[in-house]
Amino acid sequence: GENVEQHPSTLSVQEGDSAVIKCTYSDSASNYFPWYKQELGKGPQLIIDIRSNVGEKKDQRIAVTLNKTAKHFSLHITETQPEDSAVYFCAAHRNTGKLIFGQGTTLQVKP
Amino acid sequence: NAGVTQTPKFQVLKTGQSMTLQCAQDMNHNSMYWYRQDPGMGLRLIYYSASEGTTDKGEVPNGYNVSRLNKREFSLRLESAAPSQTSVYFCASSEVATSEHTQYFGPGTRLTVL
């Protein structure tokens, strides 16, 4: 079955720096890759997603890149702010109704 | 428009007790899901319902049962709780169960089994 590996498990950056989180997936049939942000005590919320026919997508300070050949995708956050501190999850989906999540990355942005 | 709601927020059970976690969505979504979240393991799918009247197993279905009561409600039942079921449980919904549609999550139920 599908497996998603996410790195690093924890990431600490200074405010204003960039943060990068990487994920790899095993099932080449996966065609949708969302990223979720989870704040303490809350459920995950979608922040950006990318489909397999697109290589890169941006939304203000957030961008996601996808390399289908290598089966990996990454989340890039620029100009980080303290409110970006949270747990981030990547996921992969192959149109079966099943999202497979990575293990999560705890991002800490130091003021 | 509340989105996805879950009850209860917290629950403590003794080993062997049973309970039902409730989930409801008001977005007229066809598909609903139950996940569990454990430290270092991300979210794992327990069961999902692609449409009213259907349910399917996810990655970790053992020890759980589900009921899609109607289009709005999807419940998760633990018949005989075990300490290994201590976790945070999230319900989610999406318009349909295909990759083009975002899954929206509820706030979670934190369950402790002693």
Output the pLDDT for position A95: 65
Output the pLDDT for position B101: 77
With residue A22 as reference, give the H or E element that holds it.
Answer: strand A19-25
Residues of B engaging A, defined by a Cβ cutoff of 8 Å: 4, 31, 33, 40-45, 48, 50, 56, 58-59, 90, 92, 97-100, 102-108
Q: How far apart are CA A30 and CA A35, in angstroms?
A: 14
Task: Using pLDDT thresholds of 50, 70 and 90, give the confidence band for residue A98.
Answer: confident
Q: How far apart are CA A23 and CA A85, in angstroms?
A: 19
In the numeric block, the tokens 């996921």 are attached to A91
DSSP letter, residue B73: B
Which residue from B88, B90, B89, B81 is spatially nearest to B113, judged by alpha carbons?
B81
- All residue ranges of chain B with pLDDT < 70 are 99-100
Contact flag B90-A42 (C-beta cutoff 8 Å): no
pLDDT digits (tens, 9 = 90+) for A25-83: 999 889 899 999 999 989 999 999 998 888 999 999 999 999 999 999 999 999 999 99
Output the pLDDT for position B99: 65
In the numeric block, the tokens 């990431």 are attached to A11
Which residue of chain A has the CA closest to B9? A41
Token digits of residue A61: 């300070």
Over 70: is that where the pLDDT of A8 sits? yes
Q: If you average pLDDT over residues A10-27, what whole number do you get?
A: 97
CB-based contact, A42 to chain B, within 8 Å: yes
Contact flag B103-A46 (C-beta cutoff 8 Å): yes
Contact flag A98-B44 (C-beta cutoff 8 Å): no
Token digits of residue B39: 């430290």
